[in-house]
Every structure is written in structure tokens, then in C-alpha cells.
């Protein structure tokens, strides 16, 4: 339902959250000393909940020779991504899958699993499923809108449940979807409980609009089982 207009400029908050998510990826790489040099060994990237590709593009810019599998349960979101980023190199492919089912479509051992703006699905079950996918060499980058920001935007401004986000369709009709937000501590706790070890974490903030959107992020490695 949202795919056709997800990328429209009117969705200003989403555009800012995407920008913060890309900034978070760069901050995570900086903090972890992860650059785009070949010794990083980021050759295969699995992206979860890739949507229309805002983070996919940043991943491709950061590691231009990496193979990227972009996954999302929405065929329509992936169709937009393919139109925007479909390439001739053959390095970027897509597959329809939920976070808990990406193991069934991912045919390689990823060096990096990336989940940008993962709030529609990032719960314990999803974190456990992502942990099952990698080895100890696999890194996970996750970013979500911060819980502190959700309190300001949803509870105080919109008067809606803190775990719900609202999109206004072009015709004016509002659509409400699940959105699980975390602050840095909560995100770290969720991932550590699922068998990840923290490598870096942070919060990116924007003052562009009054509610001052924030994105919490974590870069984690996988603990030995
Ligand atoms: C807020 S968008 C973020 C898109 C993109 N990652 C970005 O950073 O711009 C969330 C995406 O999660 C997808 N999604 C919803 N439920 C999901 C699930 N259970 N597993 C994986 N992705 C899901 C949606 O279809 C949507 O494309």
C-alpha cells in the first residue's frame, strides 16, 4: 500500500530518518575501524527489510564490489528498489522474505547483515533468526528510530501508541503500522540477549524539524554459540 508513495518528498520525517540511518552506517564503520578497504572482507551483504533501497544505496557506495542481497516481504517495495538501483553489474539481487525467513533465500554466508529502520519487525524472534544466519565473522548493523523520539512524536504530538507509526497517504487517509523503537541501551540489550556482542553503538540526531528525529544504532558481532 505504501510502496507507490513511500519515496515522496512529503514524507519528510521518513527522509530524515533515512538520512540518519545512512549517517549511522558511516559512524558505525568509523567507530569499528571498518573502512572500504579490501581487508575489511565485506564481500557479501545481506540486507533485511530493504524497502525502497535508501540504505542499499549507501551499502553499495561503501562497498562497490560487494555482492548485495536486498530482502523485504513486500514485492512492491522491492519493485521500487529495483527500478531505482537495478544495475548491470549483477552484484545487487533481491528476494522476497521476512526477517525470520531470510535464511531460506540467502545462498551465501554474509560478512555483513544490515537492517536499516528495522522498527516494523525487530523483536526477539527476528533478532534470534538473524543470529542463526551468521558465523562469528559476520557483523550485524541495525538502526531504528529512537524510543525517546517516538515518545515525543507519537505519544506527545500525535496522541497514538508508541509502537505505532502513522503515514498519511496522498489522498489524506492515514495508515498505521507497527513500529518497535529502542534507545541505545534497549537495542544493545535485545541483541546481546540473542547472542550478539556489541562492537559499536550510537544515536544520530537531526534538528531539521521540531520533533528532532533520532536513530539509535548498533554494530554487533556474533558470539560463539
Ligand atoms: C521503515 S522501512 C525501512 C526501509 C529501508 N531499510 C530504509 O532504511 O529505508 C521498513 C521496511 O521493513 C519491511 N518489513 C515489514 N515487516 C517486515 C518483516 N517482518 N521482516 C522484514 N522486513 C519487514 C517493510 O516492508 C519496509 O520495507
CA of 122 to the centre of ligand 1 (A): 10
Ligand 1 atom with least separation from CA of 72 = 22
pTM of the model: 0.96
Choice from 72, 85, 114, 140 to test ligand 1 binding pocket (greatest atom count within 8 A of CB):
72
Q: What is the pLDDT confidence band of residue 193, given thresholds at 50, 70 and 90?
A: very high
Burial class of residue 73 in the structure, from the number of CB atoms within 10 Å of its CB (0-12 exposed, 13-18 middle, 19+ buried): middle
Q: Which helix (H) or strand (E) segment is 57 a member of? A: helix 54-62
Choice from 4, 120, 165 to test ligand 1 binding pocket (greatest atom count within 8 A of CB):
120
CA of 39 to the centre of ligand 1 (A): 30
CA geometry: angle 120, 194, 34, nearest 5 deg: 80
User: How far is it, in rounded angstroms, from Cα 111 to Cα 224?
Assistant: 15
- pLDDT digit string, tens, across residues 100-143: 999 999 999 999 999 999 999 999 999 999 999 988 889 999 99
- pLDDT digit string, tens, across residues 27-75: 999 998 887 665 567 999 999 999 999 999 999 999 999 999 999 999 9
> Tell me, what's the pLDDT at 40?
65
Ligand 1 atom with least separation from CA of 98 = 20
CA of 97 to the centre of ligand 1 (A): 10
Q: Answer for the pair 45, 116: CB distance below 8 angstroms, yes or no.
A: no
More confidently predicted of 149 and 34: 149
> Tell me, what's the pLDDT at 35?
75
User: How far is it, in rounded angstroms, from Cα 29 to Cα 7?
Assistant: 26
Q: Quick one: cell of 155?
A: 505519544
> Tell me, what's the pLDDT at 85?
94
Ligand 1 atom with least separation from CA of 77 = 27
Amino acid at each position: 500500500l505504501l510502496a507507490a508513495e513511500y519515496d515522496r518528498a512529503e514524507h519528510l520525517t521518513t527522509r530524515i530518518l533515512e538520512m540518519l540511518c545512512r549517517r549511522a552506517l558511516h559512524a558505525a564503520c568509523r567507530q569499528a575501524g571498518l573502512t572500504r578497504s579490501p581487508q575489511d572482507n565485506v564481500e557479501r551483504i545481506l540486507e533485511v527489510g530493504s524497502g525502497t533501497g535508501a540504505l542499499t544505496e549507501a551499502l553499495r557506495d561503501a562497498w562497490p564490489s560487494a555482492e548485495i542481497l536486498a530482502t523485504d516481504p513486500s514485492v512492491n517495495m522491492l519493485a521500487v528498489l529495483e527500478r531505482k538501483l537495478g544495475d548491470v553489474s549483477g552484484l545487487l539481487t533481491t528476494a522476497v522474505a521476512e526477517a525470520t525467513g531470510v535464511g531460506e533465500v540467502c545462498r551465501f554466508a554474509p560478512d555483513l547483515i544490515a537492517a536499516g529502520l528495522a522498527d516494523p519487525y525487530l523483536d526477539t524472534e527476528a533478532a534470534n533468526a538473524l543470529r542463526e544466519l551468521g558465523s562469528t565473522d559476520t557483523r550485524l548493523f541495525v538502526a531504528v528510530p529512537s524510543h525517546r523520539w517516538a515518545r515525543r512524536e507519537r505519544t506527545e504530538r500525535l496522541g497514538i501508541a508508541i509502537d505505532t507509526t502513522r503515514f498519511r497517504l496522498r489522498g489524506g487517509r492515514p495508515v498505521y503500522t507497527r513500529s518497535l523503537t529502542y534507545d541505545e541501551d534497549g537495542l544493545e540489550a535485545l541483541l546481546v540477549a540473542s547472542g550478539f556482542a556489541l562492537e559499536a553503538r550510537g544515536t544520530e540526531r537531526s534538528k531539521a524539524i521540531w520533533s528532532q528525529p533520532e536513530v539509535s544504532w548498533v554494530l554487533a558481532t556474533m558470539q560463539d554459540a
